[in-house]
Structures are given as C-alpha cells and as structure tokens.
Structure 1
Amino acid sequence: MTVDVLVDGETASSWDLYQSEKLKKETIVAIFSHENPPKSPRDVRIYAAFELLYTGLDVGASIMFLTGSILFFSGSTMTAGTVCFLVGSLFFLAKPVSRFIRELIFTRTNTGIQELADRATPGLRER
C-alpha cells in the first residue's frame, strides 16, 4: 500500500520517497565501495599504498592488543597494558580515517564528486 504525500509542492507516493531515500543511501555506500576501481596508474599506486597502510594499522592494533592482554596478567604491568590497549584503539581509529582521506584524494585528483556519484548510481541525474 502506498500513500500519496506532498513534497515541495508536488505529490509523491510513499514508495517513491522510500526508493529515493534508499538510492541516496546506496549512493553514499557505493562511493566508498571496492567496486569502484582506480582509473589511472597514479590512482592504482595511491590505492596500493593505502592498502599497505590498512594492513600495517591492523597488524599494529593486533600486536598492541595482544601485548596489552599479556601485560594485564600482572598487577605491576597493568598500566603498561592499558597504554597498549589505548594505542591499539588509536590504530583502529586511524583505519577509517585513512580510508576517508583516500577517498578525498581520489575525489580531488581526477574524478570529482559528481563523477563518483555517477559511477555509484548509473542513470541517476539531478531532477
């Protein structure tokens, strides 16, 4: 069942609004998707460098959490273990931040936001 609603002076069905909101969400997700391949050799190098960074951050976080867990067994090293947990958490934080930076680099270098949006949702054009 659909319900007609008034949006910006025009009638739209609730289904149309749902599809529109769903498309917006899919566009945002698709911009950060692995399905959007790098276009130029420079993009490939940037992508590879960031993949190495992600792996380093994951390994660093894992080592810090393992070390923190071992240090937590003794009361005299508990503070050092807590510091290791904190540093490991910072590694985990750095990964999504670096992913966002990578996407900003791709956006600024050769594609632009509109092209990213067009790649993410073929056929979608401004109304």
Structure 2
Amino acid sequence: MEPILIQPGLLMRIAADAARNVLWRRLQRLVRSSATGESAEPELAAFEESPTDPRLARELIGALIRLSAQDPEFSTALEEWGEMAEDQSGRAGSVTNTISGGTFHGSVIQGRDFHGVNIFNASPGTGPRDGDQ
C-alpha cells in the first residue's frame, strides 16, 4: 500500500476556512469514524485550536498515518479524502505568490504550471546561450 501523503500546508489551508469547508467536515467525520482502538481526535482537536501551526498539522498527519496503518478501510477513505483535498485545494488552479522581506532587483516570474517557457532567452526568437542547457 502506498504511504498517505498529506502536506501540512494543504491541511492548514483547508482548516483555515473550516467553518465553510466541506473538506474539513469530511475529515472530522472520517477521524471520528475510525474503527480502531486508536484515535486521532486529540490531535484533531489541538489542530482545530491552532490551524496555522505547522507542528500541530504534522502531529495530526502522523496520527492519521498511524490509524491508516491499523485500519485498511480508514486508509482507503483517507487516501480518497487526500486526493479530493489536493484536487479542490492544491492542484485546481489556486496560486499564492508572495515576495517580501527586502529590496529586489531584476525580473520575477510568478505563477503555476508553466509550460514551454524558456527563462534563459534574452528576447523572443533567440536560442539558449552556451551553458544554459
């Protein structure tokens, strides 16, 4: 079975809008439905108190991974939740670009999923310089 991969940043984005977020409510139900003797509810409650704390996000993820190792049904449901979360919150076009903390000189390219872009060209129609490949 593939390991469950949920990034703390994704969990924090979802929890930040927990009041209106269907994904967050689904995760809560999933945690509470675990059939094992173990529970991730303490970690879930701690993270809900401070949903911007990456340490608490990692602790919740660790608890979810432990539950997944013990309960194949939970593991499958968590994997499905993680894919849905990625689709809705991570891969579906959301982009946050930030530049801060100093004075910057030169060009900046910000965005997501660049294709067919050669940043080494000084002007359109010129090929890469020696050593740029």
Question: Do Structure 1 and Structure 2 share a fold, with TM-score over 0.5?
Answer: no
Indicate the TM-score class for this superposition, using the shorter chain for normalisation: 0.3 to 0.5
Would you tell me which structure has more helix in proportion to its own residues? Answer: 1
